Amino acid sequence: MVRPPVALPDDEPDDAGLARARRITIGVLILVAVGSLAISARSDHAIPSAERWFLLAGSLLFAVVVYVFGLVPSAPTLRPAPWAAITVVIGLAVALFVVGGMDWLAVLAVGAGTCGRFGRTPRPALVASAVCAAAGSYVAIGGHAGYGGTFAAIVIGPMTAFFGYSAGRRADMVSVLRRTRADLARAAVAEERLRIARDLHDLLGHSLLLITLKAELAGKVISTDPHRAAAEITELEAVARQSLSDVRAAVAGYRQPDLAGELASARQLLDSAGIASRISGPDADGLSPEVDAALAWAVREGTTNVVRHSRATRVAISVSSGPSSAVAEISDNGPPAVDGLGPLKMPGAADGADTDGTAPPARSRSGGSGLAGLAERVNSLGGELDADHVGPHGFRLRVVVPNGTRMVE
């Protein structure tokens, strides 16, 4: 049995959109928080007019700089730290905090977190922590903030700086892992293609060479020795028929999986995709070839759908065999599909076929036709296919095939 090609990850566009939406949401929240402080200070006539205008203009500039330099970069710690931007961010944060007082402690925290998010080393986080701790001490002690206020002013800056650094490193690690996973999948596909090409070359190279030689020989002797030419053509026909049979057998071997190989391939694919898996299977020796192949197709289709469409973190694959039927079940904890597909139930031919005897159309979770081919295979054995969302998060594919059945012609 030949292992099927590994499916390539298909979730990068969705992840990029979610990351962009997350950055926009955080930017809006920062703008609202800082803007509310600025508006409050603008209406507080106890503050001198020059300070009110500085707080209003500086807070708006601070929000824009934080969004452009702190939230827009998707991989901040994979490049050198932009010290000019860091200086502007931390300078504005400290200036606003010193002028506005303890009420503007949130601005100091945002500035420190933004600086901590940059850099391949924790140096920007250390610099931001030191500056913010000094500014917090100055404002808290000078304003007689008390023990609790002084402690908060000193600690919040360094804490958010290192939180930002940790978040940036984690985001970059996820980005690197996704690219590595895609590269490994492409390498596996390329390796599989090379192996198939090598097998076909070994299979057909000798036969095609023999056909070529016999055709040349028949062409040379056809005018001088027709009997020998006829014999060579007869042998050529036999070699061609045998080559065609070999190719069909090879293609059938590539297209017809077995359950043990598919379970092993599913574990490898899920591990490569970073999805935790729990896989169990029966003794394949007790299954007929048709049932074994149907369950193998179910495992392959279910695993491919999980990797390509589910965004799941855990998958359970269970294959069991009883006296009357064999069952394959693939369930994951992925979020509900957004294409509006309802449950798919594919009964056996006896009670679930259409009026024309064909199986009802089936679509995969992503709206494709991946489950349609599986439903046809299951229907040909008189089995049942059930694909539906389970609970608030999760999807389950369940295939039940009668034991000892033969393909329906």
Residue 78 — pLDDT band, cuts 50, 70, 90? low
Which of 82-91, 114-123, 310-319 comes out lowest in average pLDDT? 114-123
Please state, as a whole number, how many other Cβ atoms lie within 10 Å of the Cβ of residue 261. Answer: 17
> E strands, 237-376, where?
276-280, 314-321, 325-332, 344-346
> How far apart, in whole angstroms, are the C-alpha atoms of residue 235 and residue 48?
106
Q: Are residues 143 and 275 in the same domain?
A: no
**In sequence order, what are the residues at sequence separation of 6 or more whose Cβ sits closer than 8 angstroms to the Cβ of residue 170?**
none
Strands 395-402 and 325-332: what pairing? antiparallel
Amino acid at 151: F
Tell whether 342 is covered by a domain.
yes
Q: Look up residue 274 and give its two tokens.
A: 């970073």
Which of 13-17, 273-277, 392-396 comes out lowest in average pLDDT? 13-17
CB 27 within 8 A of CB 71: yes
Q: Are residues 51 and 115 in the same domain?
A: yes
**Number of domains composing the chain:** 3
Q: Are residues 251 and 287 in the same domain?
A: no
Tell whether 328 is covered by a domain.
yes
On average, the pLDDT of the chain sits at: 76
* Higher local confidence (pLDDT), 23 or 382: 382
Return the CATH number at 277.
3.30.565.10
Within a 13 Å sphere around the CA of 173, how many CA atoms are in the beta-carbon half? 7
Mean pLDDT of 45-52: 73
Q: Are residues 131 and 199 in the same domain?
A: no
Return the CATH number at 245.
1.20.5.1930
Residue 182 has pLDDT above 80, yes or no: yes
Tell whether 373 is covered by a domain.
yes
pLDDT tens per residue, range 271-308: 767 788 899 887 656 788 888 888 888 998 888 888 87
Residue 60 has pLDDT above 50, yes or no: yes
Tell whether 7 is covered by a domain.
no
Strand partners of residue 330: 317, 397
Q: Are residues 216 and 236 in the same domain?
A: yes
pLDDT value of position 16 = 65
> How far apart, in whole angstroms, are the C-alpha atoms of residue 228 and residue 239?
16
Tell whether 409 is covered by a domain.
no
In angstroms and rounded to an integer, the radius of gyration of the C-alpha atoms of the chain is 33
Boundary of a domain, candidates 234, 255, 276: 255
pLDDT value of position 76 = 60
pLDDT value of position 358 = 40
pLDDT value of position 397 = 92
Q: Best-predicted range by mean pLDDT among 43-57, 160-174, 365-379?
A: 160-174
Residue 7 — pLDDT band, cuts 50, 70, 90? very low
Residue 113 has pLDDT above 90, yes or no: no
Residue 232 — pLDDT band, cuts 50, 70, 90? confident
- CA distances from residue 58 to 61, 113, 127, 156 in whole angstroms, order as listed: 5, 18, 22, 21
Q: Are residues 36 and 124 in the same domain?
A: yes
Mean pLDDT of 48-72: 78
Residue 153 has pLDDT above 90, yes or no: no
Boundary of a domain, candidates 227, 255, 283: 255
Q: Best-predicted range by mean pLDDT among 62-71, 247-256, 257-266?
A: 257-266
Which of 12-16, 50-54, 233-237 comes out lowest in average pLDDT? 12-16
CB 27 within 8 A of CB 210: no
How wide is the angle at C-alpha 308 spanned by C-alphas 304 and 313, nearest 5°? 95
Q: Are residues 232 and 279 in the same domain?
A: no
Strand partners of residue 175: none
* Higher local confidence (pLDDT), 381 or 78: 381
pLDDT value of position 95 = 87
pLDDT value of position 337 = 59
pLDDT value of position 401 = 92
* Higher local confidence (pLDDT), 63 or 48: 63
Among 86, 10, 98, 77, which residue's Cα sits nearest to residue 311?
A: 10
Residue 11 has pLDDT above 90, yes or no: no
**In sequence order, what are the residues at sequence separation of 6 or more whose Cβ sits closer than 8 angstroms to the Cβ of residue 318?**
279, 280, 327, 328, 329
Residue 317 — pLDDT band, cuts 50, 70, 90? very high
Q: Are residues 131 and 217 in the same domain?
A: no
* Higher local confidence (pLDDT), 62 or 253: 62
Boundary of a domain, candidates 202, 229, 255: 255
Which of 47-61, 167-181, 244-258, 385-399 comes out lowest in average pLDDT? 244-258
Tell whether 316 is covered by a domain.
yes
Segments forming the whole domain that contains residue 147: 12-178
Q: Are residues 348 and 383 in the same domain?
A: yes
Positive or negative, the CA dihedral 45, 49, 54, 60 is positive
Tell whether 167 is covered by a domain.
yes
> How far apart, in whole angstroms, are the C-alpha atoms of residue 332 and residue 206?
48
Q: Are residues 322 and 213 in the same domain?
A: no
Q: Are residues 57 and 149 in the same domain?
A: yes
Strand partners of residue 280: 318
Residue 400 — pLDDT band, cuts 50, 70, 90? very high
pLDDT value of position 350 = 35
Q: Are residues 197 and 273 in the same domain?
A: no
pLDDT value of position 376 = 82
Which of 20-34, 233-247, 356-370 comes out lowest in average pLDDT? 356-370
Q: Look up residue 334 and give its two tokens.
A: 């992925």
* Higher local confidence (pLDDT), 2 or 117: 117
Q: Best-predicted range by mean pLDDT among 215-219, 244-248, 336-340?
A: 215-219
pLDDT value of position 316 = 93
Tell whether 187 is covered by a domain.
no
* Percent of residues, the chain, with pLDDT higher than 90: 5
